[in-house]
């Protein structure tokens, strides 16, 4: 992961983080009508960044990915983890996920949870998370399920 650094996001980064989330989600080929229905979920606000640990990956002075956690007692949840398609396969996602693990441990969490897009389930399993269930998430006439994964933190 040459030339990539992970740093804490600032509230003023929210529009760029949102752009990354939309770009990454669109890469999976979902209909634009679905993307628009997910607008609230994909939009990152300055308040969200202030209230939740949020980190961005920067290469060549540009943000190419980000992650965010929700902390709660002995568990933490990966709320966002997005990498621009042009940077996929370079280890950026893995570095962001490891930052989530590190921050969760620092906060005292013993478990890291993820509600994943079906396209990202394999990535999280590669990072050591295991499937613990799935949540129905139908869209229009399409039957869909979101994988629920967890990783025990040592």
pLDDT tens track for 36-50: 999 999 999 999 999
Would you state the CATH architecture of domain 4-152?
3-Layer(aba) Sandwich (3.40)
What are the structural domain ranges in the chain?
A: 4-152
Interval 7-58: pLDDT, tens? 999 999 999 999 999 999 999 999 999 999 999 999 999 999 999 999 999 9
Mean pLDDT (the chain) is: 96
Per-residue pLDDT, 1: 60
Residues 1 and 58: beta-carbon distance below 8 Å: no
Predicted TM-score of the model (pTM): 0.94
Q: What is the largest CA-CA distance in the chain?
A: 44
Over its C-alpha atoms, the chain yields an Rg (Å, rounded) of 15
SS3 at position 33? helix
């Amino acid at each position: 992961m040459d030339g990539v650094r992970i740093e804490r996001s600032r509230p003023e980064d929210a529009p760029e983080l949102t752009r990354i989330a939309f770009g990454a989600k669109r890469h999976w080929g979902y209909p634009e009508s679905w993307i628009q229905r997910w607008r609230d979920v994909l939009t990152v606000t300055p308040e969200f960044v202030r209230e939740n640990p949020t980190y961005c990956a920067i290469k060549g002075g540009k943000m190419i990915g980000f992650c965010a956690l929700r902390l709660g007692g002995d568990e933490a949840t990966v709320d966002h983890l997005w990498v621009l398609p042009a940077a996929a396969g370079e280890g950026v996602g893995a570095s962001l996920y490891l930052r989530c693990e590190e921050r969760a441990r620092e906060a005292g969490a013993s478990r890291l949870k993820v509600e994943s897009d079906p396209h990202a389930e394999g990535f999280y399993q590669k990072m050591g998370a295991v499937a613990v269930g799935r949540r129905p998430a139908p869209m229009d006439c399409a039957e869909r399920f979101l994988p629920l994964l967890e990783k025990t933190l040592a």
